[in-house]
A and B are shown apart, each in its own frame.
Chain A
Amino acid sequence: MIYDTLISPFVEFAFMRRALAGTLALALGAGPVGVFLMLRRMSLVGDAMAHAILPGAAIGFLLSGLSLFAMTAGGLIAGFVIALGAGVVARATELKEDASLAAFFLISLAVGVTIVSLKGTNIDLLHFLFGSVLALDDQTLLLIAGITTISLIVLALIYRPLVLECVDPGFLRSVSRAGGPAHIAFLALVVMNLVGGFHALGTLLAVGIMMLPAVIARFWARDVTAMILIAVASGAISGYAGLLLSFHAGAPSGPAIILVAGVLYAFSVLFGGVGGVLRQMFPGRHLEA
């Protein structure tokens, strides 16, 4: 019974195994990136960037259909252009960076949806917005796994300046010049992970497997290492449980994965050990001492 519910879907169907492998890889790469985004108060930047990659992927789609290479290249280019463009506008004008990013991503979303609708059907549009985690072929899986591998290596390299910049940017600037390059490398990781997530979960939800696990982790840990581990774990649980939900209840797969993460989030808000609602209402006695 338990075997039938929890394991046999993955034993019986290769497409379920692939979907699981894809989401686990995504959780592994996007989780840590999400934690740093959150710690740097850039949680919504991830959302903006996710929409920003849509027109690039859509132009790739326009040129060569559902081609992995064209859509990936388009998404990466669009993501980088928007990230740089918003930065340039913020420095050259009086507009703050968040405002210019908001303008950029809304325009991108509209352009992207228009391009997809011009060429494709409603189902194509759904595919762009919500992804197709059930259709991961070898190439796409390799791409996602590659992005995850690069993310983990680069994160290991820039870990110290990244953490320092979250905690005390002024101090980092006074002792090192690594802050700028680390920031750019980090933004590149954000875009790459979003493009990888885009193939599985679409532009609207790719950011979900990045930010929701990070936010969940915030309720259970105080130090960065533990946060990253919890984020990866909750991303993986969401992927596994979401796929099962889609398999047994017939819910669309991508939204199901993010919904499970949403349930974990609601649970964490209420019962989280670090700053959760119950914890705030009934603080442990040792905290008062």
Chain B
Amino acid sequence: MFGRIALVVLFAALATPSFAQDKLKVVATFSILADFVKNVGGDRVDARTLVGPNGDAHVYQPSPSDAKTLADAKVVFVNGLGFEGWMERLIKASGSKAPVVTATKGVKPRKSDDVGGADPHAWQSVANAKIYVANIRDGLSAADPAGKASYEASAAAYLAQLDALDAEVKAAIEKIPADRRRIITTHDAFGYFAAAYGVSFIAPQGVSTESEVSAKDVAKIITQIRKQRIPAVFLENVTDDRLLKRIGAESGARIGGTLYSDALTDGQGAAPTYLDMMRHNVRQLAQALMS
């Protein structure tokens, strides 16, 4: 009896992937890119993500199952600009013959201090996100010509949403007085955002972002805020809010909340989609910078 039930369950489990086989299997390297792909592909596409929500693509360690996912894929979407340093070897190792679509193709790269030259966080400007969407649309259409009309329609609808988002972000930043649009942050991912919307992101000088702060670090941050009269700080490596409050009290700067840069959150988080992420970040900035 139990054996039979188990058998039925087993077959049901085996049968599930075959539904997905009707769909175009694609892989996106990280959660933000996958969000774009889902928006353009809709129901025709089964999009997998290598670096899921809350994951860090910079330091990602590919697993054997990722290679398998890649081998099954019909199209692979990557960000490019050196964001996924591990990707080339992984594609080779997986034996995948799928075409690789670079979503940043046509984006004007910003110089970065990192080795490699270009700043890969291009999606932080909504104008660039539209280039991503266009590249994804073309990539999907090439791999699945039958769905071309569907992809074009979804892409057009999503591009309209992005246009609205762009206007919204600009309007929100407009409201902040120009001389207050400066924050100190340990994030290094907002170069494109800064260039597109005119907010200065100043890195704390000589402060390591990966370890617990020392007295020297705290003193440096406070001195810099006082000297440059910076209205707000966003610190991701200081999790003790008592220390944050001290920095705020001694420097006179407001303490900002969390900014999302490289990855979306899961469904419960504040930024499950790209649109949510940008709105969340702008709201955090506006709250911290409004006088």
Contacts and interface: CB of A to CB of B under 8 A. Distances in A.
Interface of A: 9, 12-16, 18-19, 66, 120-121, 123-124, 126-127, 130, 132, 134-137, 140, 243, 246-253, 256
A124 to B, nearest CB: 6
B246 A248 contact: no
A249 B240 contact: no
13 contacts: A13-B219, A15-B218, A15-B222, A15-B250, A16-B219, A18-B246, A126-B212, A132-B240, A134-B243, A137-B242, A137-B245, A246-B216, A247-B214
Contacts of B246: 14-15, 18, 134-135, 137
Interface in B199-232: 211-219, 222
Interface size class of B (residues with CB under 8 A): 20 to 34
Contacts of A123: 212, 237, 239
Contacts of A126: 212
Nearest to A12: B219
Interface of B: 211-219, 222, 237, 239-243, 245-247, 249-250
A251 to B, nearest CB: 6
Contacts of B240: 66, 127, 132, 135
Contacts of A135: 240, 242-243, 246
A201 to B, nearest CB: 13
A6 to B, nearest CB: 14
Contacts of B218: 13, 15, 134
A251 B214 contact: yes
A66 B216 contact: no
Please name the 10 residue pairs, one residue from A and one from B, whose CB atoms are nearest each other, closest first: A135-B243, A246-B215, A250-B216, A135-B242, A247-B215, A250-B214, A123-B239, A15-B246, A137-B242, A135-B240
Among the interface residues A13, A18, A19, A136, which one has the most CB atoms of the partner chain B within 10 A?
A13
Contacts of B216: 246-250
A127 B239 contact: yes
Contact of A132 (B237, B243, B247): B243
Given A13-B219, A247-B215, A251-B214, A132 B250 contact: no
Given A13-B222, A14-B249, A134 B239 contact: no
Contact of B242 (A66, A121, A247, A249): A66
Contacts of A249: 216
Nearest to B222: A13
Contacts of B239: 120-121, 123-124, 127
Nearest to B242: A135
B227 to A, nearest CB: 13
A136 B242 CA distance: 7
Contacts of B241: 66
Contacts of B243: 15, 132, 134-135
A281 B148 CA distance: 91
Contacts of A130: 212
Nearest to A245: B215
Contacts of A252: 211-212, 214
A243 B249 contact: no
A123 B240 CA distance: 9
A139 B289 CA distance: 29
A11 B246 CA distance: 15
Contacts of A247: 214-216, 219
B215 A253 contact: yes
A120 B242 CA distance: 16
A14 B250 contact: yes
B214 A246 contact: yes
